Amino acid sequence: MGKKRIIAKTEEELIKEREKVESKIKKEIKETSQKIKEGKLYIASSYNNTIITLTDLKGNLIHWTSAGSIGFKGAKKSTPFAASKVAEAMCQVVRKLGIEKVAILVKGIGSGRESAVRSIAARGLEIVSITDITPIPHNGCRPPKARRV
């Protein structure tokens, strides 16, 4: 099978990566010229990934992050740890944009739902409300035809 090697990034590579992320955030700050004080955070948690989207009160997209975009791959994307890291990254963006109040809307049945909300709360953002918008079938799907023997 061979020896497993862990690739360690040098400090220069880490600094370049951080500058790349910060430049993206700065571009988005310039695009949103007016200061927004309130926003909505949509947490979409599935069995495969956790995606957090930041919008203004009208629903216009400001920024989004996911476990895959942060660097998690495969089965690690669906873990609660990955969801908390996504939430931390989103909190940094929210702080840089100057948003103070946030309404959280949670959708999906993945394992990252709760940990994402907890890490957002731990970061000190003022949470206005937490709403579950997971779609629930009211009468289920159509049952199969009766079996004729």
Please tell me the predicted confidence (pLDDT) of residue 21. 75
Q: Can you point out the beta strands (E) in 46-134?
A: 50-55, 61-66, 101-108, 126-132
Q: Specify the range with the lowest mean pLDDT, choosing from 24-33, 50-59, 136-145.
A: 24-33
- Grouping H, G, I as helix, E, B as strand and the rest as coil, residue 108 is strand
**Using CA atoms in the order 90, 92, 98, 102, what is the torsion angle rounded to 10 degrees?**
40
Six-digit token string for 97: 């944009």
Domains of the chain: 39-132 (3.30.420.80)
Q: DSSP letter at 139?
A: S
Backbone angles phi, psi at 132, to 5 degrees: -95, 120
pLDDT tens per residue, range 105-119: 999 999 999 999 999
Calpha distance 36→101 (Å, rounded): 10
For position 15, what pLDDT does the model report?
83
Whether 108 and 45 have beta carbons less than 8 Å apart is answered as: yes
Please give the average per-residue pLDDT across 16-33, as a whole number.
Answer: 70
